[in-house]
A and B are shown apart, each in its own frame.
Chain A
Amino acid sequence: MISAGRWLVLSAVVPMLAACTGNLHLSFLDPQGPVAAAQRWHFFEVLGIMAVLVAGPIFLLLPFFAWRYRYGNKASRYAPRWEFSRLLEIMAWSGPIVIVVVLSFILWRDTHRLDPYKPLASDQTPLRVQVIGYDWKWLFIYPDQGIASIGMLAMPAGRPVSMQITSATVMQSLFIPALGSQIYAMGGMVTRLNLEADRPGRFLGENTMYNGNGFHQQHFTAAGMTPDDFSAWVQNVRAHGTPLDARTLQLVAGRSTRAALIDALPGKATHDGNLYFTHVSEALFPAVVQATLDGRAQLPRSALAHADPDRPRSADAPHSASASTP
């Protein structure tokens, strides 16, 4: 009966958020955050410079030369032994060099400006999210809220999200094109990614690094929400989510698609095919990193600690074992 109630409430909240925002945003050419917008600008800047300075002359001159100096045209000048001109030679080398120097400046500037590790400028503290790549789903952990989700990465619009990313299996790559950069997730290692959504909306999220049969189904929705909606969402997950206990986590860690995982957890998913978890310990993410590094399947019990979201928690929360039902 709990699951039915949860189902109803979550089903009501999530579409409500989505409704006001329309379609899924797929592309950085339709940017929904500052990083993707800067990337779009950079993309067109480089493309424009090259279209004018590189492609333009060649696309004009090649057909012209081919036609003007065609075999049948006896009127054009024929210089079969002409093989060198200092002036043209200097132009042939200096042209590309100048273009590359200009492009290098842009490259240097934007590589630093858009470094995915660099925190985004904002007057708000970033929302912390820890991401674990499993075969073939992403687990998003909100350590400060004590919740987690699969299939849905909710974030308050206008507030940066600071992600720590790892993989519990093979290499993967976390990517939300409409928001910005992708970054690899690697076993035993932690990479970082900073993104932000400008406004509420739904954005395509995916893995771009092939990792087996369910690869093409490793999608998720990133959802930008107003701060109030986000708080409501967190409350809803806390109130109605499934506790992330050892058994559940074991199922999550198996090689299965999100759909198959939902079949294995009957009644736990919302109607849009997402899973929400409560009682998620802050110790879980580092524990998964360490376990992958050590080649252990089993996590320490403390990592599956029962978290009480309303109180500040210490790293080894007391009620470790009893992470079954709320």
Chain B
Amino acid sequence: MSIAGIFEHPLGRLGPDALPFWQMLQHPTEGNIINGCVATGAASMVVIGALVMVVLLTRYRRWGVLWSDWLTSPDHKKIGIMYVAIAFVMLARALIEAVLMRAQQAFGLSGGFLSPDHFAQLFSTHGTIMIFFMAMPFLTGIINYVMPMQIGARDVSFPVLNSISLGLTAAGAGLVMVSLVIGKFSTGGWFGYPPFTEASFSPGVGPDYWIWSLTLASLGSTLTGINFAVTIYKERAPGMTLMRMPLFTWTALCTSILMIFAMPPLTVATAQLALDRYLGFHYFTNALGGNMMNFANLFWLFGHPEVYILILPSFGVFSEVISTFSGKVLYGYRSLVMATMAITVLSFTVWLHHFFTMGQNANMNAAFGIASMLIGVPTGVKIYDWMLTMFRGRVRFTVPMVYSFGFILLFVLGGMSGILLANPSVDYQVHNTVFLVAHFHNMAVPGVLFGMLVAYHFWFPKAFGFRLDERWGMVSALCWIFGFMAAFFPLYVLGVMGLPRRTVAYSEASYVPLEWVAFLGALLILVALGSLLWQLRVSIRHRDENRVAAGDPWNGRSLEWATSAPPPEYNFAVIPSVEGRDAFARAKEEGCAYQSPDTYRDIELPRNSAMGPVTGAIGFALGFGLVWHIWWLVILSFLAAVTTLIVRGFARDTTRVVPADEVRREHLRWIAAVNATTAVSRVDECRPVNDGRARYEAIGVAP
């Protein structure tokens, strides 16, 4: 590539054939028309969605608000909410794709309606999105929102870095979304194994979209991991020793540690693949000394810890929720902490179970198989401890608890299929079949996704000041649970019947009935998502009845409930000092919650910064330029990135002060409101009378 070459093709390899309807217009065969219409429909949803956003923001003059209150805000709570918003958008897309795949396979005996290439993009984007742009942003958002408050901090350690991480994640998500409109995504699945994803076998832009969106997201996650870990180590309130941290914070810490150590192998693997594709290196090619087995090792060195990055925060959420809604201290706190740490360490010792079938010897496979089963021990302990938390409690059957029951029972089944897969001699049979698909969804849906939805229900009132509608929540929870069962239990059977994963079509008639059950299950899951959206709408409409301004709708136990709902920007008027576990529950029992101190101090907060959105925009431009070989854009955005960093280095005036007076006024207003609120019994928890103050109920207290 010469200098002239850079300007010779100002749009790189971008041409009209990148449009989703181009092929259909050029070759209007029946298959092309169907696939073209599906792809164009999906693309129009993205374009129309973006346009509607722009129009609404302009019409209601909200650009300024969006910029100064949200995009540039360093407030961990707002950043958390934006992460969760991204997660929901991406969940909707990935779920629609999942239903499309299930529909295709339901008709798959006769070939179905989608082309193989289109189907391959669906499973690749679905998997990539669910992992990197649904689950990761969701848990990052929840940790962002909750963790600083649980440890009694005002913000994370590096608020602007937090905003930059969000920008990078959003840029990655944007790149995946754009691939729906311009060009095609990878067909190499979510783990993108070479040599299939090498330029010789996949010359198009697909793998490049995959590489750069993952690179952006994983950079964001690495920075997030560092940020969270430092926050937990350094920002805890006085008296909040490690062994007094709420369990959710513990899981946040372990997840952050995993992020710090697990993301780099992924970044290295995708970077090497990029070198292969762009500069003709031979890391993973068949020939000239390349070896794809190195990619498999690097990828799963990230990939297995990754599944624990996803599941640990959910474990934390369930721990909080089960204890809160059982009206009881968490049973076996120390054990649960040890189990979490054990999982964190063990998760780095098992990656080989993703390729037992690659030809290594039996000793090696057995060692890794046993290591994988070992993870079952701490996980089992967790399940027993959750059940013992309910034991001798007062269990309330709220929406989060319904999810929790579903989670525990389904997760046990998923764990059992996991133990089966950890046996190399069984894995030799079900590896790469839909049995495996059933297994990991059995962990990902009841484990990760339910956990995140529970977090959303549990902390929504804290974030927005009103409760979510209970009835629609229940409808949605039941649809999720039963939809999941219908969609994935058949796949266990189909897998044992030899149906490989990622098949667009099949030739065995005996697969059809179970494929249809799975399809109906997927539709039920779509209903579940619809109910979730409807619930949000209903809840917003009735928000005034369901306000919980006093801030403690569930008789909560940890410090985040000791603030107003929504909390002030600085979280705590005065940093609490902590004397034990379940600090807020203890304060309520001792009757010393909701106190106002004698003196208030000025509070220093970070100033808004454009670093996040600017870095995100640059990252997006860089990624887009690289995907399409638009070299001038690559050079320009690279220079812009360097310039931004340098300019930021000169920013001196990075904080602002909330005067003590204002803090006092705000706090006293809230204390007055709390005092004016009647404390409600748990019977009325989900009724309008619950304004966010809990009555102390200790009937028949034993030991």
Residues of A within 8 A of B (CB): 24, 26-29, 36, 38-39, 42-43, 46-47, 50-51, 54-55, 58-59, 61-62, 65-66, 69-71, 74, 76-85, 88-89, 91-93, 95-97, 99-100, 103-104, 106-108, 110-118, 167, 169-171, 173, 175, 177-178, 180-184, 186-189, 191-192, 204, 206-216, 219, 292-296
Residues in A neighbouring B412, C-beta threshold 8 A: 54-55, 58-59
30 A–B contacts, CB within 8 A, in A order: A46-B420, A62-B409, A65-B387, A66-B395, A70-B395, A71-B395, A71-B683, A78-B393, A78-B700, A78-B701, A78-B702, A81-B328, A81-B329, A88-B332, A88-B388, A96-B381, A107-B425, A112-B363, A114-B428, A169-B201, A171-B292, A181-B425, A186-B358, A187-B286, A187-B287, A187-B292, A189-B359, A207-B500, A292-B286, A292-B287
The CA of A293 and the CA of B424, in the complex, are separated in Å by: 29
Of the residues A27, A104, A215, contact of B502 by C-beta under 8 Å: A215
Q: Is B39 an interface residue (CB 8 A)?
A: no
Cβ-defined contact, B432 with A209, below 8 A: yes
Determine if A181 and B292 form an interchain contact, defined as CB atoms under 8 angstroms apart: no
B393 CB, nearest partner CB in chain A, Å: 5
Q: Are A55 and B413 neighbours in the complex by a CB distance under 8 Å?
A: yes
- Tell me the complex Cα distance, A43–B377, Å: 20
CA distance A109 to B78 in the complex (A): 54
Answer whether residue B162 sits at the interface, using C-beta atoms and an 8 A cutoff: no
Complexed CA–CA distance, A136 and B284 (Å): 21
By a CB distance below 8 angstroms, the chain B residues around A46 are 419-420, 423, 426
Please determine whether B189 and A210 come into contact, CB atoms closer than 8 angstroms.
yes
Contact, CB under 8 Å: A71 / B369: no
Q: Kindly provide the distance from the CB of A296 to the nearest chain B CB, expressed in whole angstroms.
A: 8
**B420 and A47 form a contact (CB under 8 A):** yes
Q: Is B373 an interface residue (CB 8 A)?
A: yes
From known contacts A58-B412, A182-B428, infer whether A81 and B701 are also in contact, taking CB-CB under 8 Å.
yes
Contacts of B328 in A (CB 8 A): 79-82
Among B193, B194, B380, B428, the most chain A Cβ lie within 10 Å of the Cβ of: B428
Separation of A249 and B117 alpha carbons in the complex (Å): 26
A132 to B510, CA, bound (A): 29
Cα A27 to Cα B504 in complex, Å, equals 20
B423 with A111: CB separation less than 8 A: yes
Contacts of B332 in A (CB 8 A): 83-84, 88-89, 92
User: With the chains together, A59 CA to B397 CA distance in Å?
Assistant: 18
Digit string of B327-363 for contact with A (CB within 8 Å is 1, else 0)? 1111111110000000000000000000101110111
Whether A26 contacts B498 by the Cβ 8 Å rule is: yes
Chain A residues, Cβ within 8 Å of B683: 71
Chain A residues within an 8 Å CB radius of B361 = 115, 117
State whether A39 and B426 are in contact (beta carbons under 8 Å apart), knowing that A55-B416, A80-B698 are contacts in the complex: yes
A98 nearest in chain B by CB position: B377
Interface residue? B47 (CB, 8 A): no
Partner of A110 from the list B288, B423, B701 (CB cut-off 8 Å) is: B423
Q: How far is the CB of B349 from chain A (nearest CB, A)?
A: 14
CA distance A51 to B420 in the complex (A): 12
Q: How close is A289's CB to chain B, nearest CB, in angstroms?
A: 10
**Considering the chains assembled together, what is the distance between the CA atoms of A213 and B366 in angstroms?**
35
A106 contacts which chain B residues (CB < 8 A)? 423
Interface residue B116 (Cβ < 8 Å from any Cβ of A): yes
A contact residues around B287 at 8 Å (CB): 187-188, 292-296
A184 touches which one: B189, B359, B390 (CB < 8 A)? B359
Residues of B within 8 A of A85 (CB): 388
Contact A107 B380 (CB under 8 A): no
Asked whether A71 lies within 8 Å of B682 as measured between CB atoms, the reply is: yes
Which of chain A's residues has its CB closest to B401's CB? A66
Report the minimum CB–CB distance from B184 to chain A (whole Å): 13
Residues of chain B lying within 8 A (CB to CB) of residue A177:
429, 498
Whether A216 contacts B380 by the Cβ 8 Å rule is: no
Does the CB pair A83–B116 fall under 8 Å?
no
> CB within 8 A of A187: which of B195, B377, B420, B496?
B195
How many chain B residues touch A (CB < 8 A): the figure is: 98
Contact of B326 with A by CB under 8 A: yes
Q: How far is the CA of A86 from the CA of B109 in the complex (A)?
A: 57
Q: What's the nearest-Cβ distance from chain B to residue A106, in Å?
A: 7
| Least distance between B381 CB and chain A CB atoms (Å) | 5
Residue of B nearest to A74 (CB): B699
A206 touches B500 (CB 8 A): yes
| Contact B196 A212, beta carbon cutoff 8 Å | yes
B390 touches A69 (CB 8 A): yes
Q: How far is the CB of B281 from chain A (nearest CB, A)?
A: 13
Closest A residue to B502 by beta carbon equals A210
User: Are B428's CB and A180's CB within 8 A?
Assistant: yes
Assess the A216–B117 pair: CB atoms within 8 A: no
State A96–B384 Cα separation when bound (angstroms): 10
- The answer on a CB contact under 8 Å between B387 and A61 is yes
Q: Which of B396, B425, B510 has the most CB of A within 10 A?
A: B425
B508 within 8 A of A: yes
B292 contacts across to A, CB distance below 8 A? 171, 186-187
Chain B residues, CB < 8 A from A294: 287-288
B413 touches A93 (CB 8 A): no
Task: Indicate whether A38 sits within 8 Å of B425 (C-beta atoms), given known contacts A26-B510, A111-B369.
Answer: yes
Query: Given known contacts A79-B328, A115-B362, A187-B286, is B116 in contact with A214 (CB within 8 Å)?
Result: yes
Cβ of A80 and Cβ of B381 under 8 Å apart? no
When chains A and B are docked, how far (Å) is the Cα of A167 from the Cα of B193? 15
State whether A171 touches B357 (Cβ < 8 A): no
Q: Does B187 contact A (CB under 8 A)?
A: yes
Given the complex of chains A and B, what is the CA–CA distance between A80 and B497 in angstroms?
Answer: 49
- Residue pair A43, B429 in contact (C-beta under 8 Å): yes
**Interchain CB contact under 8 A, B428 and A77:** no
A70 CA to B496 CA in the complex, in Å?
A: 39
**B residues within 8 A CB of A51?**
416
Q: Complex Cα distance A79/B327, Å?
A: 9
B185 to chain A, nearest CB (A): 14
Chain A's nearest CB lies how many Å from the CB of B322? 10
A46-B419, A69-B392, A78-B699 are known contacts. Are A208 and B193 too (CB-CB below 8 A)? no
Q: Residue-by-residue, is B508-532 near A (CB-CB < 8 Å gives 1, otherwise 0)?
A: 1010000000000000000000000
Bound: A171/B426 CA distance, A: 21
Further pairs besides A171-B196, A177-B498, A295-B288: 9, Cβ < 8 Å: A59-B409, A69-B326, A77-B392, A88-B332, A92-B381, A111-B423, A117-B359, A187-B195, A208-B500
**A116 contacts B330, C-beta separation under 8 Å:** no
CB-contact partner of B355 in A54, A71, A184, A206, under 8 A: A184
Q: Return the chain A residue nearest B433 by Cβ.
A: A208
Cβ distance B357 to chain A, nearest Cβ, rounded Å = 5
Q: How far is the CB of A276 from chain B (nearest CB, A)?
A: 21
Query: What 3 pairs between A and B have smallest CB-CB spacing?
Result: A295-B287, A187-B286, A181-B428
Residues in A whose Cβ lies below 8 Å from that of B81: none
